[in-house]
Amino acid sequence: MALFFPPIQAFSAAANPAEDWSDWKKSFTIYERATKYHKEDDETRIALLLHVGGAELVQKYHAFTFPAAQQKFADVLQRFDEHFERF
């Protein structure tokens, strides 16, 4: 039986961006597991993160630079972690 899981709300940084990111990332991890996307390739997982995360994450993602031609999902999450821990 196929199940539909409505996406979580898009990320939005408020008064405490570091805490907002940490909370949103936990929700995303639960959503990714519930939909079984955690088993997909890195490219698909990154696309899901950005799609569900919304415009704010997409904008920040495009400002990042990655050394390797092929990005890893873990590297993208790490970059967001580093970005938001500054707040």
Model confidence over 8-51: pLDDT tens digits? 999 999 999 999 999 999 999 999 999 999 999 999 999 999 99
- Compute the average pLDDT of residues 57-76: 91
Mean local confidence (pLDDT), 49-65: 97
Would you state the pLDDT for residue 36?
A: 94
pLDDT for the residue numbered 67: 80
Q: What is the pLDDT of residues 42-54, one digit of tens each?
A: 999 999 999 999 9
Q: What is the DSSP string of 12-61?
A: ---S-HHHHHHHHHHHHHHHHHHTTGGGS-HHHHHHHHHHHH-HHHHHHH
Sequence ranges of the domains in the chain:
41-87
